[in-house]
Amino acid sequence: MSSGSARRKANRIAVIAAMVAGTALPASAEMKPTLTFGGTTGLIDMPSGESQSDGTLSVVTAHFGPISRTTLSFQITPRLSGSFRYTGIRKWDDVLPSPLATNYDRSFDLRYQLFDEGRYMPGVVIGLQDVIGTGLMSGEYLAATKTLGKSVKVTAGLGWGRYGSYGSIGATGTRPAFDTGVGGTVRTGQWFRGDFAPFAGVEWQVNDKLGLKVEYSSDAYALESGSRKTFDRKSPYNFGVEYQVKPNLRVGAYYLYGSEVGLSAQIVLDPKVRPTGGMLTAGALPVKDRPSRAANAAAWSPLWITEESGKASMRSSLAKTLRRDGITLEAITFGLDRVEVRIRTPNGENSAQVIGRTARAMAATMPATVETFDIVPLERGVAVSKVVIRRSDLEDLEFAGAQDALIRQRAQILAVSNGLPPDALRTEGLYPKFNWGLAPYARTSLFDPENPLRIDVGLQLSASYAIAPGLLLSGSIGKKLTGNLGDSTRVSNSVLPHVRSDSNIYDREGDPSLNTLTLAWYGKPAPNLYSRVTVGYLERMFGGVSTELLWKKVDSRFALGAELNYVKQRDFDQLLGFQDYSVLTGHVSGYLDLGKGYSAQLDVGRYLAGDYGATLAIDREFANGWKVGAFATLTDVPFEDFGEGSFDKGIRLSIPFAWALGRPTEKAYNATIRPILRDGGARLSVDGRLYDTVRGYHETQLDAQWGRFWR
């Protein structure tokens, strides 16, 4: 590189620095990290040396010229974040022949915070873009950011790949050419190889709503503005203005690369913060203190234990008190100084809060001689644990400092058998019980190159018939009202049995559809062993028999399960008929709670297409029910036979409606985001798998939620 060329590149970056030096620094609100066009923490098109707050989930949609990007990002840990991006580039075939007018590309990113910002030290991030994808967007970078005063941040960095394609100042070896192939592979040989180039930028937070950005970009857009000529890149400078509409919504307008106008919208959600500020539920009952023996000796009389009519009355009184919190009393066993209750818990509610409110209801209704409360939560009719609370601890600690920790130290969480004590009194009228509901549904199809977003909206009629504890008949019927899922004419080219890749045919022909119709039996053969047998139309594409066993101790972070299914493929109309294809499928599964909300699951076995392999999933779950995770499946299917994407992988997300609405509900938004849906690594979908069913009232989950015991 000539000295004149180097001076010109240095001068470009000096322009950015001059802007910082000449900027007034008015007092403003704390500057929070913002997001780029690519959905990662940064400036406009360049990354920064910052991270979002721990657990943050963001969605960014951004558009300039012929390029549109939609990115989902998650701050996995305080230092590690991941992103999934879907990019569409229009005018792709205007110069070179291509089968598509718009080129669509999927990519995954990873970023790691090497150093936090200090008094003198900038924050430093290392990042990998398009780490698993076609490689069209691949790049690596080191970025550093320093806050100046209260309202200005300056960023500088070095980039490789795309980020090293304009204004290179050196090289670290030769960057291997990428071979797109079927995509989905990791190209470690490219990382931090080839030309590297500087980038820089400044962000000025004018006030708590308005922000300004300017940057020098090191991305030459060699494909887009070069060989494909989709737009004219005239300048490396980008300028932007952003406005904070609401705490979780930010919009922006930009002038990019000397030729294009851009727009973006950034939605940022913190799972730890409810939009409503808290649950809009009735307040908890105060703890009813017992009178002293001296003041009321009759209240401590043991004679009540012999009066059967009095017990029935207390059962009714307790059941009524529990109903105010949505808790159903299934059975109660009386002892002079110890009472056991078995409760059906409200789905979607905090488990520790359910235990706390049950204990207070017992304190309000049980005779003074009862000192120990045994609370047994039931899930799908199965007893999952026994929480032992001493009544005197409730009375002593209600207004004590550090009351959450103190009551947890004195409470016990124990294993319990499923059988009722012989002298238990059941609540009448609970079985058999019929329930039904009618609700809207929305089903989507993502990343089809013909139409990246398809959606059907309709109504779903659901019904269940609880025959006895643990024995449930249930089903659902769907009727589409509007949508375009059935418009897809894509023909599967899979060489494997079409266990998933014909989903568009199911969408087209299944209206109305029998989504599920099953008889499920849940049991507990031993205190630490759970069982499930489900028979019927298990999901929209398969029906048959699904069996499962799970070993899990109430105080263990580890669980081991086994599932065996014999299923047959359903007709495309999703009514009562079946096709010829059938398969024996099943897995051995290991579950490990890693602490601090993180968990891992490893499934090893046979999948729906007859392939053998394993799936590894890592999830992060928050106390309010939010769950974000990622998974990858590798089987004995060669990448070329699997097809586009090479292997099954994706992101799964569960957002409880209770978080958004501020009131208890069992409903949740569940989504699995796959780069592409293929047949390899496909697993049967069955409602009510045991691990998630039983663990909510085991020790690790209760401990994670124990802060709501007194609420």
Instruction: Compute the distance between CA of residue 376 and CA of residue 387 in angstroms, rounded to an integer.
Output: 6
- Work out the average pLDDT over 311-336: 95
- pLDDT exceeds cutoff 60 at 312: yes
Mean pLDDT of the chain: 90
Query: What is the sign, positive or negative, of the torsion defined by CA atoms of 574, 578, 582, 586?
Result: positive
- pLDDT exceeds cutoff 60 at 494: yes
Position 296 confidence tier, pLDDT thresholds 50, 70, 90: very high
* Residue of 226, 282, 174, 252 lying closest to 711 (CA atoms): 282
Q: Note the pLDDT tens digit of each residue in 626-639.
A: 899 999 999 999 98
Instruction: Compute the distance between CA of residue 352 and CA of residue 623 in angstroms, rounded to an integer.
Output: 10
Instruction: Compute the distance between CA of residue 374 and CA of residue 339 in angstroms, rounded to an integer.
Output: 6
C-alpha distances in angstroms, 371 versus 42, 289, 396? 58, 12, 13
> Any idea which residue has 């089987």 for tokens?
635
Q: Is the separation of the CB atoms in 500 and 539 below 8 Å?
A: no
Domains and CATH numbers, the chain: 3-269 (2.40.160.40), 297-430+703-708 (3.30.300)
Instruction: Compute the distance between CA of residue 71 and CA of residue 84 in angstroms, rounded to an integer.
Output: 6
Residue 584's Cβ-count burial label (10 Å; 0-12, 13-18, 19+) is exposed
* Helices and strands (H and E) in the chain: how many: 10, 34
b/e code 548-571 from CB counts within 10 Å (16+ = b) = bbbebebebeebebebbbebebbe
Bridge partners of 439, per DSSP, are 460
Query: What is the sign, positive or negative, of the torsion defined by CA atoms of 508, 513, 516, 518?
Result: negative
pLDDT of residue 5: 47
> Which phi and psi angles does 92 have, rounded to 5°?
-65, -30
Q: Given its phi and psi angles, is residue 384 left (phi above 0), alpha (psi -120 to 50 degrees) or beta?
A: alpha
Instruction: Compute the distance between CA of residue 228 and CA of residue 94 in angstroms, rounded to an integer.
Output: 7
Position 446 confidence tier, pLDDT thresholds 50, 70, 90: confident
Instruction: Compute the distance between CA of residue 144 and CA of residue 154 in angstroms, rounded to an integer.
Output: 8
Q: Note the pLDDT tens digit of each residue in 386-425.
A: 999 999 999 999 999 999 999 999 999 999 999 999 999 9
Position 11 confidence tier, pLDDT thresholds 50, 70, 90: very low
Position 180 confidence tier, pLDDT thresholds 50, 70, 90: low
CA dihedral 320→321→324→325, nearest 10 degrees, is -120
Instruction: Compute the distance between CA of residue 358 and CA of residue 87 in angstroms, rounded to an integer.
Output: 51
Q: Six-digit token pair at 600?
A: 């891992």
- Work out the average pLDDT over 181-192: 76
- pLDDT exceeds cutoff 60 at 14: no
Question: Which has the higher per-residue pLDDT, 445 or 500?
Answer: 500
Q: Six-digit token pair at 156?
A: 């500088």
pLDDT of residue 278: 65
How many other C-beta atoms can be found within 10 angstroms of the C-beta atom of residue 673?
A: 16
Instruction: Compute the distance between CA of residue 508 and CA of residue 487 in angstroms, rounded to an integer.
Output: 7
DSSP 80-122: EEEEEEEEEEESTTSSS--S-SEEEEEEEEEEEEEE---SSSP
- pLDDT exceeds cutoff 70 at 182: no
Q: Which helix (H) or strand (E) holds 699?
A: helix 699-705
- Work out the average pLDDT over 284-304: 93
* Residue of 487, 492, 477 lying closest to 455 (CA atoms): 487
* Residue of 572, 542, 578, 574 lying closest to 478 (CA atoms): 574
pLDDT of residue 687: 94
Position 24 confidence tier, pLDDT thresholds 50, 70, 90: very low
* Amino acid residing at 179: D
Q: Six-digit token pair at 185?
A: 């592979």
Which DSSP letter does residue 419 get? S
How many other C-beta atoms can be found within 10 angstroms of the C-beta atom of residue 293?
A: 10
Q: Six-digit token pair at 165?
A: 């394609």
Q: Is the separation of the CB atoms in 619 and 629 below 8 Å?
A: yes
Q: Is the separation of the CB atoms in 640 and 607 below 8 Å?
A: no
Q: Note the pLDDT tens digit of each residue in 168-179.
A: 999 999 998 866
Instruction: Compute the distance between CA of residue 113 and CA of residue 125 in angstroms, rounded to an integer.
Output: 4
C-alpha distances in angstroms, 20 versus 15, 44, 47, 524? 9, 17, 18, 67
Cβ-proximal residues to 429 (8 Å cutoff; 6+ apart), any chain: none
Cβ-proximal residues to 378 (8 Å cutoff; 6+ apart), any chain: 330, 342, 343, 344, 345, 384, 469
Which DSSP letter does residue 42 get? B
What's the predicted TM-score (pTM) here? 0.89
Q: Six-digit token pair at 222?
A: 């060699």
C-alpha distances in angstroms, 437 versus 118, 338, 463? 55, 39, 6
- Work out the average pLDDT over 148-172: 96
- Work out the average pLDDT over 32-44: 95
Q: Note the pLDDT tens digit of each residue in 505-554.
A: 999 999 999 999 999 999 999 999 999 999 999 999 999 999 999 999 99
- Work out the average pLDDT over 138-166: 96
Lowest-pLDDT range of 145-149, 506-510, 676-680: 676-680
Which percentage of the chain shows pLDDT scores above 90? 76
